[in-house]
Structure 1
């Protein structure tokens, strides 16, 4: 937490692009472990019958950041400065450090050497994949030798990491045997697909509202805020219901709500009113809150207590990879579809098309007016991008549909009824 706070302060003080990239990198280095560590502490501290409520409160903290971030960030940027989007982490981080020292007991240390070779292989795998996802669309994917090399390094890194983990499993970075647990492996797969839908939506919707509908940054944040409120409400509801009805019905309900809300976004258009923009966002928020908490709870139900730390790290890693892949896929689909639709719509602009004359007449223009070409080109681009956004939202909706049959693989969905681990002992203080 201390490293994250310092990196945030330095990011706000940055005076060049190089500095902000370096300090943002440090933010990621120090902040990456916070989510899995906090999840591991909860799993080891609370017995199975209380884990659902604990995960609900934890889930609010994890989900509320990316959901309400655009609202707070837009407000701080518009009222103060972009630097305050980093400075805001300083008081929050200081409060978190004080709370940790006061409330979190020290745990018994288990001596273990760092698996630097496994870490290097995993870094090559993730780094190569991230480069391919970030630069692939720009460099025309595998027509680029750079992308081919990065993809090859990624494959070698991931395969090498798996081989190393299976051969040297006693000292590997992660004990890959945790994937033998069906609940954990299924939940991890569901979480990766969920990350695609969640972060793909969080990237596309603000982009659409600002670039096509002309919403200011702060207004965009306000429009997105109901998603966070709805997620909080559904997480509280899930926390009280999960022990009674089980995880599987709640996850199913959450997926169905996410499907409904996301398919509704495919009907967005350039002249849509705020109400029709917001209600699908609210439904999505309700659904996503109902997915995240029970999924996190059931993932650790049948694992042994000593596996929780490694499992939490891998669980968080797969969520990150899923979100990275999702963001890359939806932005690529949106960009490419915009070009395709632009060409398709452009084919309808013919000199003898009566609709063209009616449109120009409303603007008090004629086909021979030099301004007509510029106006038509601008409108054509806006309509093409709107259709492209709808196509990307359709892809996200179908990714949620793909989650439905995976739910059948989960077993023992009653969190407190039966657990392979039993009540995990509280951490011992040295």
Structure 2
């Protein structure tokens, strides 16, 4: 039941990524606007994740877990019922915020329930179970969105969420809230404001021409001020919201950087591929869902591999996983608009294997020297940075797609002129006609497709670069060590 609750979150993320093109059309939104449905959901999850420890202490693990699942289910239903971009983003924010405690609390419950020697196996089984939903979810979601509408992909999660809520109420042992943890509101609010402002800058910067906009300047100033308040307060407060002293542990500090990069790589392809495939390559929603689902299949394989790799030095699994991410990124950079579904499924499978292989050794290496007393807080920060990495990097990549598409379109249309002799050759122009308005419109559409593809290739290049940056950091991670 604990695993089922965690599965709901990952399933919703993958389904939402499959539905982005349909939601974009329904809401009459641009590509960067509809991406907010993903980024602000992840951001809300990131902001609320560190509150997991306080919520569990204040209300108890059982109450926090069960009510998070129920409220997450209710907001998922409201996402499907949304009729405007604003209401969709609002419910996605609430969905992420209210469901945030589920995954870190699930992991904490499992790690506390099993001895240290079994935690690698438990983490692998937990990871494999969590990816079962993402395998089935996008496939069914894509089918339902094609047969009915994108709303039914959200609605189908509701009965599973209700079953999970009932099962958790019946199976989780009752525990008494300790109530001993006081929430540091100054640290929480300053960190939340800083993260939210950075996200707004990244999400709206390209549309508002970055620092030529007064709004962007204000948001940047507020983000810097709020982050300075958070750091100063955390270093001087007796009980800060986040204990920065944990960063003195080398493995934990490096693990946070690596999990942030892991988050950057985790969801970005799933946000970029659906709009590219539907709008520019003509793929149906059901086929896009199958391509996304192949990633879940790969993750399942990766977690099986991680069980055996986990017996060795964790750095071996980490280097192998991030190397696969580099390979998949280079593969994506070599694609064009004539790509077939089998190639995309194979690439998605490789990405999934990499995700599965990385997760277990990364988690074990990060917390190898973390004491049990700091495990709950350390886990919360761990998931916080994973989600921040996802949200920020998605916004950066979408902004690059929009920027590069516009710039490349301007450069490509310069070639369509009477002085370009290549356009006089019939085997070059093909079906395009530069002598009529209809022909020019068709040519303009093709130029738009190719310009967009170049923008996506740039984004895939950022993905590849981020993957490669992780490998030198892995060499600094310490080997196995018993927790203090």
Is 1:132 paired with 2:201? yes
Shift of 1:382: 0.9
Displacement of 1:380 in angstroms is: 1.1
Report the equivalent of 2:186: 117
Give the structure 1 partner of residue 230 of structure 2. 161
* TM-superposed deviation, 1:341: 1.8
Does the C-alpha gap of structure 1 residues 273 and 23 become closer, same or farther in structure 2, counting only changes over 3 Å?
Answer: closer
Q: Check if 1:152 corresponds to 2:221.
A: yes
> Cα–Cα, structure 1 residues 348 and 301, in superposed 2: closer, same or farther, change >3 Å?
same
- Residues 282-297 of structure 1 mapped to structure 2, 5 A cutoff: 282-297=349-364
Matched residues in 1 for 2:369 and 2:174: separation? 25
Aligned to 1:29: 97
State the shift of 1:70 in Å.
Answer: 3.9
Query: What does residue range 210-359 of structure 1 map to in structure 2 within 5 Å?
Result: 210-242=278-310, 244-357=311-424, 358=426
Q: After TM superposition, give the deviation of residue 224 of structure 1 in Å.
A: 2.1
Displacement, 1:262? 1.2
Counterpart of 2:208 in 1: which secondary structure?
coil
Q: CA deviation at 1:235?
A: 0.7
Deviation at 1:314, TM superposition (A): 0.8
TM-score (norm 2): 0.80
Q: How many residues align?
A: 414
Task: For 2:71 and 2:409, locate their aligned partners in 1 and report how far apart those are by CA, in whole Å.
Answer: 47
1:195-210 to 2 correspondences below 5 Å: 195-210=263-278
- Written as runs of structure 1 = structure 2, the 5 A alignment for 1:10-159 is 10-14=78-82, 19-61=87-129, 69-107=137-175, 109-110=177-178, 111-159=180-228
Cα distance in structure 1, aligned partners of 2:222 and 2:88? 27
| Higher RCO structure (Cα 8 Å, ≥6 apart) | 1
For the 8 Å contact 1:360–1:372, the answer to whether it is kept is: no
Cα distance, 1:231 vs structure 2: 0.9
For 2:477 and 2:380, the matched residues in 1 are separated by: 20
Gaps of 5+ in 1: 422-430
- Indicate how the Cα distance of structure 1 residues 156 and 359 shifts in structure 2: closer, same or farther if over 3 A, else same: farther
Aligned to 1:427: none
Considering only aligned residues, what root-mean-square deviation do their CA atoms show, in Å? Answer: 2.2
| d(CA) in 2 for partners of 1:377, 1:106 | 64
2:483 is aligned to 420
Give distance in 2, aligned partners of 1:18 and 1:339.
26
Alpha-carbon distance, 1:261 to partner: 1.2
Q: Kindly state the Cα deviation for residue 95 of structure 1 after the two structures are TM-superposed.
A: 2.8
Deviation at 1:18, TM superposition (A): 5.0
For the structure 1 residues 289 and 124, does the alpha-carbon distance in structure 2 shift closer, same or farther, using more than 3 Å as the test? same
Distance 1:215 1:276 in 2: 13
CA shift, 1:63, in A, is 5.3
Q: Give the superposition deviation at 1:82.
A: 2.8
Q: Give 1:334 deviation, angstroms.
A: 1.4
2:72 is matched with: 4
CA contact (8 A) 2:433 2:440 kept: no
